[in-house]
Amino acid sequence: MTMAKASVRDADIAGKRVLLRVDYNVPIEDGKVKDDSRIRASIPTIRYLLEHNASIVLMSHLGRPNGKVVESARLRPVAERLSRLMGRSVPVTGDALGIGTNDAIGRLKPGQMLLLENLRFHAAEEANDPSFAQALAAYGEVYVDDAFGAAHRAHASTVGVAALLPAYAGLLMEREIRSLSKLLESPAHPFAAVIGGAKVSGKIAVIENLMSTVDTFCIGGGMANTFLVASGYTVGKSLLEKDRVDDARRILQSAKEHGTDLLLPTDVVVAKEVTRGAEHKTVNVNKIPNSWSVVDLGPQTRVAYEAALESARTVFWNGPLGVFEVPTFGDGTRAMARHLARRAGAGATVVVGGGDSVAAVEELGLTQAFSHISTGGGASLEFLEGQELPGIAVLQDRPAPVRTRKQPSRAAGKRAAAAP
């Protein structure tokens, strides 16, 4: 899969100015950072660089300002939160480019850092414009990418700059690559995947790529409706991708051929309206009322999924199992978060990826319980689809170690793990 990338630990950074790409695309409400988990995730790399006498030019995007200056997308609240977390002032420039920015960077001394204003205020960032990349590259002597959440984007700050400077993975990027690669290459079996979220269309390639490795899939969320219809059920007014029913049918058949258990809900919570306070009840999947919508897993399904995961030594979880943003319909998602935290506590490797499943873990204060929580929603999925992410591909490779033993294939590993 992904070749090991040279990390910041391999770089000569003492006394150098390091251009550090981070992912500070965080939710901001009333001028304050609502969730600082991505900021906190970047701190080990920042501390490493400062301890090794580097100066740091941080760069990130925030939101989708589409190449224009949008006041609500300025990075000042992020700089304020980072300053508090680091216990030192982190100034933010007025613009990513310009004379004032050049002057501020020129005055940086080893052990100091600053944050460039939102890169996406310039349309040239998302266009991977060569001149914009060159202007950014001039700010540093070494490039370090710690923005796994943006690694699937071929932008100036993730790909263009990396082609112009010695380019290394940050400590977070390194951990993401290592954790996700292990799921694809050498997971401990039994290996289970809990896949949820609204739509099956974004998860088809992941399920298909993991089919030869995963022993058990547990399917939930809105995407489960498409699988239920593919299995002959009706789902009332529920979210349904009619154009993906054939894909779901193909995946169900593929699971049979691979000897993979693919579990679907047997009972569900349905609601008259998908809103807070709406009338709701639990029904079997063969009795979903025509004018109601599926909003969560039912209690029987939760018990069955937890039983199926009890023996798993590796679990990957992506996506909520109900309409998590409505608290009443988030019981299945929260129960799964607690169960997987217990499995991790019992020694299983549990990797969580995807915005809302991560939000559930954060809400319950279980962040530290898991083996790895990915900071990249779309990037995690594309990685697990087997795609080469442009922001990773452009980083320097670490020389491959000489192999002394032939490694068994994935399929062979799965067969061996399943043997009595």
pLDDT at 206: 92
Cα(94)–Cα(63) distance, integer angstroms: 17
Enumerate residues 6+ apart whose C-beta is below 8 A from 388. 2
Task: Please give the structure tokens belonging to residue 298.
Answer: 């039912």
Catalytic (active site) residue 34: no
pLDDT at 355: 66
Q: What is the CATH number of domain 8-175?
A: 3.40.50.1260
Cα(381)–Cα(78) distance, integer angstroms: 26
Half-sphere exposure of residue 307, counting CA atoms within 13 Å on the CB side?
A: 8
Task: Please give the structure tokens belonging to residue 21.
Answer: 């790409």
Neighbour tally for 84: CB within 10 Å: 13
In the chain, residues under CATH classification 3.40.50.1260 are 8-175, 187-369
Which entry of 332, 355, 391, 413 is annotated as an active-site residue? Answer: 355
Catalytic (active site) residue 347: no
pLDDT at 364: 85
Bridge partner residues of 296 (DSSP): 269
Catalytic (active site) residue 355: yes
Asked whether 326 and 275 are in contact (CB, 8 A), the reply is: yes
Nearest to 355, CA basis, from 338, 377, 333, 329: 377
pLDDT at 414 over 60: no
Asked whether 316 and 383 are in contact (CB, 8 A), the reply is: no
pLDDT category at 416 given cuts 50, 70, 90 is: low
pLDDT category at 360 given cuts 50, 70, 90 is: confident
Cα(132)–Cα(156) distance, integer angstroms: 7
Nearest to 133, CA basis, from 155, 156, 114: 156
Cα(193)–Cα(25) distance, integer angstroms: 27
Nearest to 148, CA basis, from 386, 397, 391, 316: 391
Question: For 30-162, where are the E strands, in sequence order?
Answer: 32-33, 55-59, 113-115, 142-145
pLDDT tens column, 183-206: 999 999 999 999 999 888 889 999
Please spell the DSSP secondary structure of 292-321, one letter per residue. -EEEEE-HHHHHHHHHHHTT-SEEEEES-S
* Tokens 């217990």 found at: 342
pLDDT at 412 over 80: no
Cα(74)–Cα(66) distance, integer angstroms: 13
Which entry of 76, 199, 250, 398 is annotated as an active-site residue? Answer: 199
Q: Which CATH class is domain 187-369?
A: alpha beta
pLDDT tens column, 377-397: 788 989 999 989 999 999 999
Give how far the C-alpha of residue 225 lies from the chain's centroid of Cα atoms, to the nearest Å. Answer: 24
3-state secondary structure of 267: strand
Asked whether 121 and 95 are in contact (CB, 8 A), the reply is: yes
* Tokens 């970047």 found at: 42
Determine the Cα angle at 1 with ends 416 and 388, to 5°.
145
pTM: predicted TM-score of the whole model, two decimal places: 0.88
pLDDT at 77: 97
Asked whether 293 and 236 are in contact (CB, 8 A), the reply is: yes
Amino acid at 143: Y
pLDDT at 164: 97
Asked whether 322 and 301 are in contact (CB, 8 A), the reply is: no
Cα(273)–Cα(328) distance, integer angstroms: 12
Asked whether 118 and 73 are in contact (CB, 8 A), the reply is: yes
Which entry of 5, 17, 21, 38 is annotated as an active-site residue? Answer: 38
pLDDT tens column, 225-276: 999 999 999 999 999 999 999 999 999 999 999 999 999 999 999 999 989 9
Neighbour tally for 408: CB within 10 Å: 12
